[in-house]
Amino acid sequence: MSALETLSHYDIQMHPLGLEILSILQFLRNKSFNIIFCWVPSHAGIFGNEIADAIAKYASAFLPRALPYVDIKKFFVSRLFSLWQQKWDVLTNNKLHSVKPSIGLWPILPIRQVDVKLTRLRIGHTRFTHKYLIFGERAPVCPTCHQNFTVHHILIECPSFKSHRVDHFHSSPVVLQDLVTSFPRITYAGFPLPRSESIKYLGIQFTKYNQNGHILRSIRNKALKKINGFKKLGYKRNGRRTKHLITITNNSILSLFFYSSPIINKFSETHLKSCNVIQTTSLRIALGVPIWTPNTILLKLVGQEILSGKIKRLAIQFFIKQIATQPFSALFHTPDRINSQLVEKDAESLRITSRNLNCIPDHIISLPIFPHSNPTVCEIFLKDFYFQNKELPSSIISSDSIECIQSFFPNHLIIATDGSKSHCYTSIAGFSCLQKFCYRIHPLNSVFTAEVLAICQALDELVVPEKDILILSASYSALSFLKNISFHSPKVIQRLAAKIHIRKNRIQKIALLWVPGHSGVSWNEKADSIAKQVSDFSPYIQSPKKVFGHQHE
């Protein structure tokens, strides 16, 4: 499967054998050959596959071919790690061997302060046990055991700390590997954080004395240090290529301003011009053009916008994202009430952006408060029935789907939904045996978003109280996202999950069934027909349900 997936995603940096195969395929297509690749499960009793597997195992002739670099590199890395592990296994007397017996990277804790302390415990070097080396003092000795204080002695051996071990680890006999292994048990949130005179946010250290000028000087000093090192690369006669220097400029120097854009977009015009000077200086070094080159020509050569304009645009993107993730945004103190407000400068920029998109901020869907600890939203059937196979003839899909619904969902209210998008309109539709609806939504919405919003609208309009519901949808991606919902799922999926959760609390069973589109299933065909009948006279929904959707379909 991996080989076929590689061939289906062309990339200039893909495996050289993949590039060779694609080149041969292109040659054969030019000769009017039609070649089809089909993946089949291995060791599943498929006759041709089993024969090919048996022949490959008895191969005797050697095929001389050049080894690709990626295979050689992978072999050497694996071999070096194996040799390293063998040498490490012999060093059992090493004090670090008991803590980390296997070679490999350990995960990093999200809080650096805790990560530093954990690393010091692992290597056994702490200020208490090793400061005597700096001050020329005697090693600290345990008054109870008359042994030198070490991390191992304090955590494991010393009887004086037995009560502490019982309190924190709920056991007196503990092993060092359990305490400082790759996944240690650390309690952190239960203790108050140490007080600090400053806080770091978006790469900027904030204190009560901060002013815009101070923040600008801090960022500019970082940028100038990078520029001085960048000159050594840019002024070499046989140095890097220009495009590489521009990439370094964007990722190393200008990224300082991109990262802090939600804060520095409050700068005055004078301060923003100082940021522009850093951008143009870096680009002149990268391009090797003289200092008198106009900024307009300089920016056109590299295809960039002026830095001050990009800072403002990135700041607006940041605040739009915060609006979309309201309950979980760092800008909001509580999940149910907004305690922050945009300053007038940001609010005006957001209004201008919304006006250019012909929408208002209320059109941005916000993240609902949904119990992610129980991700099972409802029953979702994607590949559970025979007719859910696009390769089957339409007649079989149509007849088998009817039999399936009658057999497994005899008492459910059947609702079919669909979303449609054309050059002029984006619409949603749904119908049941009792009623139907058809609405226009914002044209920026994708087909994926329209399909999900159609299900949301059906839950609002077409359901019958205390009646089990079966919703038919032709959007496999929408139902798949809903079945595998997480905090990072699209916001419109979060909204749908919240609606279903509310309905479930009313003792209603809700099931979602995927039906292959355009396969002759009468319910889906009718919903599709209703969605395509939208016109200028169709009702237009103006509510927070609309969202500028994700392009999944």
Query: What pLDDT does residue 377 have?
Result: 66
196-232, pLDDT tens digit by residue?
445 566 666 666 555 677 777 778 888 888 887 777 7
Dihedral sign (CA 94, 98, 102, 105): negative
Residue keyed to tokens 């619904």: 405
Evaluate if residue 195 carries a pLDDT over 50: no
Check residues 377 and 407 and name the one with the higher pLDDT.
407
* CA 550 to chain CA mean position, Å: 13
Mean pLDDT of 129-154: 86
Share above pLDDT 70 across residues of the chain, in percent, rounded to a whole number: 75
Query: What pLDDT does residue 415 have?
Result: 92
Evaluate if residue 299 carries a pLDDT over 70: yes
Q: How many CB atoms lie under 10 A from the CB of residue 99?
A: 19
20-65, pLDDT tens digit by residue?
788 888 888 888 888 888 888 877 778 777 788 777 777 666 667 6
Are the beta carbons of 332 and 339 closer than 8 angstroms? Answer: yes
Are the beta carbons of 303 and 336 closer than 8 angstroms? Answer: no
Out of 135-144, 197-206, 271-280, 449-458, least confident range: 197-206
Out of 232-246, 364-378, 493-507, the most confident range is: 493-507
Check residues 129 and 99 and name the one with the higher pLDDT.
129
Query: What pLDDT does residue 304 have?
Result: 85
Out of 92-106, 190-204, 386-400, least confident range: 190-204
State the pLDDT confidence band at 340, using cuts at 50, 70 and 90. low
207, 436, 458, 513 from 508: Cα distances, Å: 53, 20, 14, 16
Instruction: Determine the residue type at 344.
Output: E
Evaluate if residue 374 carries a pLDDT over 60: no
Query: What pLDDT does residue 553 have?
Result: 39
* CA 502 to chain CA mean position, Å: 27
Q: What is the DSSP letter of 155?
A: I
Evaluate if residue 392 carries a pLDDT over 50: yes
Out of 209-213, 286-290, 413-417, least confident range: 209-213
Give the domains, in start order, of the chain with CATH numbers: 3-56 (no CATH), 109-169 (no CATH), 217-364 (no CATH), 379-533 (3.30.420.10)
The pTM for the full model equals 0.42
- How many helices (H) and strands (E) would you count in the chain? 22, 8
Residue 383 is encoded by which pair of tokens? 């590949």
Mean pLDDT of 545-549: 39
Are the beta carbons of 469 and 413 closer than 8 angstroms? Answer: yes
Euclidean distance between CA atoms 476 and 515, whole angstroms:
8
Query: What pLDDT does residue 543 have?
Result: 43
Check residues 432 and 285 and name the one with the higher pLDDT.
432
Burial class (CB in 10 A: 0-12, 13-18, 19+), 353: middle
Are the beta carbons of 199 and 193 closer than 8 angstroms? Answer: no
Evaluate if residue 333 carries a pLDDT over 80: no
Mean pLDDT of 153-169: 80
Euclidean distance between CA atoms 74 and 547, whole angstroms:
44
Out of 45-59, 231-245, 385-399, 434-448, least confident range: 231-245
Evaluate if residue 277 carries a pLDDT over 70: yes
Query: What pLDDT does residue 330 have?
Result: 58
Query: What pLDDT does residue 61 have?
Result: 65
Euclidean distance between CA atoms 232 and 285, whole angstroms:
10
Backbone angles phi, psi at 434, to 5 degrees: -100, -40
Query: What pLDDT does residue 417 have?
Result: 92
480-500, pLDDT tens digit by residue?
988 888 767 888 888 888 888
Share above pLDDT 90 across residues of the chain, in percent, rounded to a whole number: 3
Task: Give 548's contacts (C-beta < 8 A, 6+ positions apart).
Answer: 357, 359, 363, 364, 442, 444, 445, 449
